[in-house]
Amino acid sequence: MQQSENAQRPARLRVGVVGAGRVGSVLGAALARVGHQVVAASAVSEASRDRVSRRLPTARVAEPAEVVAESDLVLLTVPDDALEQLARGLVETGADVGGTFLVHTSGAHGYHVLAPATAAGGLPLALHPVMTFTGRDEDVDRLASCSFGVTAPEALRPIAEALVVEMGAEPVWIAEEHRTLYHTALAGGANHLVTLVAESASLLQAAGVEHPSRMLGPLLGAALDNGLRLGMDGLSGPVLRGDTETVSAHLGELRRHSPESVHAYVALARLTADRALAAGLLKPHDAERLLDVLQA
């Protein structure tokens, strides 16, 4: 059994990290846990050097070209907008990327963003961990409960998926042409959720609630669970009921206490009404009355 499992694992690789931030240091540590050796990492800031020291103790700090030269697999964990420039820069400075797995973790890009390095023989993989990274040590353990959006040339797909499985996570294949749509969905859900929660907490404080999180926790936890399990069938609230007077009163309070949020409330309420109507949960005449109110 052990021999069969080993046959399915990628060969043990020398791993380098270009950009030892929150994500790069965590993925490097996760790969080290399963037997790969992290040999080198680029780190400019003091915080990055500290991460290398704590999480990647076998790595020496080096320039990006040196990291590539010493590695079989390089994690290119830099900001989204810097990826193509980094790939081009590595080639232009003479880094030998031929036959090296080049792994980026951007959700917004597939593997084509690494085209300059791919043309020079690099083997591109896009492995996006679908989780937030706090910079704390528990981030490594959280990888085991998350999914990775995986995009790669078809010939490299087995390697890309095997690396994710090794780290204890679930690989989910995303076609290159759907990568931006995929990331739009994730960013819209996760990032805007935080903003909505923070806005709700602020309004509750204005209403005199001393500990908004205690009130919101059970409510939002149930709403998230309902949404994930039931979709629009998990919806509740005044829009679903067609309570136009309540919605109008909400808008009045927002104009007084948080005018900058009025347009967001209107846009989300309209989207909710449209989806509820399409799902047969909201009657057409109720939807019409709601949309008349939602003209802000």
pLDDT tens digits, 23-43 = 999 999 999 999 999 999 999
Q: pLDDT tier at 132 (50, 70, 90 boundaries)? A: confident
Strands annotated E in the chain: 14-18, 37-42, 60-61, 73-76, 101-104, 123-129, 147-151, 170-173
Its pTM stands at 0.88
**Which CATH architecture describes the domain 2-174?**
3-Layer(aba) Sandwich (3.40)
What pLDDT is stored for residue 10 in this prediction? 67
Q: To the nearest whole percent, how much of the chain has pLDDT over 70?
A: 96
CB–CB of 28/103 below 8 Å? no
What angle separates helix 22-33 from helix 46-55, to the nearest 10 degrees? 10
As given in the structure block, the two tokens for residue 108 are 């917004």
Q: What ranges do the domains of the chain cover?
A: 2-174, 182-293
CATH top-level class of 182-293: mainly alpha
Average per-residue pLDDT for the chain: 94
